[in-house]
Amino acid sequence: MLSLNPSRSGRVRTVFVAVPALALLATLEWRAQALFAPADPLAQDHGAPGYTDTPLLPGGKWHVHDPARPRPPVVTPGSASTPEQPGRAPSDAIVLFDGKDLSKWTSGGGPAKWKVEGGVAEVNGTGDVETKEAFGDVQLHLEWAEPTPAQGESQGRGNSGVFFMGQYEVQILDCFENLTYPDGQTASLYGQYPPLVNACRKPGEWQSYDIVFEAPRFDGGKLVSPARATVFHNGVCVQHAQELLGATQHRAVANYAAHPAKLPLRLQDHGNPVRFRNIWVRPMERRAP
C-alpha cells in the first residue's frame, strides 16, 4: 500500500507540472500565432480598438465597431498592366493564364489547343476552352486584344466571349467603329443588356475586363435568386449589378435551368483570332448575414 503513495503522488506531481506546462505552451503558441500569423500580423485580441457599449447591428451578433468581429484576411494587391507588360494578380487569386501555358484549361475533353506564344494565348479554331476548376461567385480579371487589322463586320469582327458557369456570356467583340446590335456588342450580357457605354480600345490594343459575377441560386428546380454581373471594361463600369434573365441564347429569350452551384468558366472560339493574357479569378463567398 505504501508503495502506491509515492507513485500516486508522482502522478499528481506530473499532472500539476504537465497541465500548466501544456497551458503555457498553448498560450505561447496562441501568442505566436497571434503575433506571427501571416494572414493578420496586427491581430491583438486584448486591447484591440473598438467598442462594445454601442448598439447591436441588425442580426444582433456584432456591436457597432465591435473589436471581436473577425478581421478580414490580408491580401497583397496585384499590379496594373501596361500595354507592354501584364500586371501581377493579387496574392489570393487563382491564376488561370500567366502567359506560359493553358494547363488550367481543357477543350472537348482533352488539352486546350489554342496557340500560346510570347506570353499570349490566341484563338485558333480548335474550339472553346474551359477551366478544369469549377466556380460559383467570382471576381474575374481578363485581358484581350482584337485582331489587327480589323476584319469582318458586326458579330464577325473579333468575336469571342467569356461564359460564366459555361452559360452566361459577357461578350467579347471588336466594337471600335463597328456596328452591331446593342445587346450583342462588347461588354453586353449577350442578348440581354447592352453595356452602359462603349469603352472599346482600337484593335490590337490590350483591353481588360474586371467582372464580379454572382451565380444564380436554385432550390431544387426553382430559381431563388438570379445571376448578377458588374463589369468594368478598361476600367469603366459598363454593367452595374445587372440581374441576368437567364443563360445566354441566340435569337431567343434567355431563361434559367437549374444547375450545380459551381461550374467551369468558358472562353469562346468564334473563329476569330482574339488574343488573351493575364487571366485570374478570385472565388468569393457571400457575406454571412
- Interface mask (CB under 5 A) for Mg ion, residues 140-159, using x and -? -------------------x
Nearest residue relative to Mg ion (C-beta): 161
Q: How far is the CB of 53 from Mg ion (least distance, A)?
A: 56
Stretches 203-211, 227-235, 244-252, 267-275: which one binds Mg ion (CB under 5 A)?
Answer: 267-275
What is the DSSP annotation of 208-263? EEEEEEE--EEETTEEEE--EEEEEETTEEEEEEEEP-SB--SSS--B-----S-E
Contact 167, 236 (CB under 8 A): no
- Interface mask (CB under 5 A) for Mg ion, residues 100-139, using x and -? ----------------------------------------
| Nearer of residues 131 and 248 to Mg ion, judged by Cβ | 248
Q: Is 191 in the site for Mg ion (CB under 5 A)?
A: no
Q: Is 161 in the site for Mg ion (CB under 5 A)?
A: yes
| Nearer of residues 131 and 159 to Mg ion, judged by Cβ | 159
Q: How far is the CB of 37 from Mg ion (least distance, A)?
A: 44
Stretches 52-60, 67-75, 233-241, 262-270: which one binds Mg ion (CB under 5 A)?
Answer: 262-270
Contact 191, 248 (CB under 8 A): yes
Strands 129-135 and 105-107, bridge-based pairing:
antiparallel
d(CA 144, CA 209) in angstroms, rounded, equals 8
Q: How many residues bind Mg ion (CB under 5 A)?
A: 3
CA atoms lying within 13 Å on the CB side of residue 70: 7
Strands 206-214 and 138-145, bridge-based pairing:
antiparallel
Binding site for Mg ion (CB under 5 A): 159, 161, 268
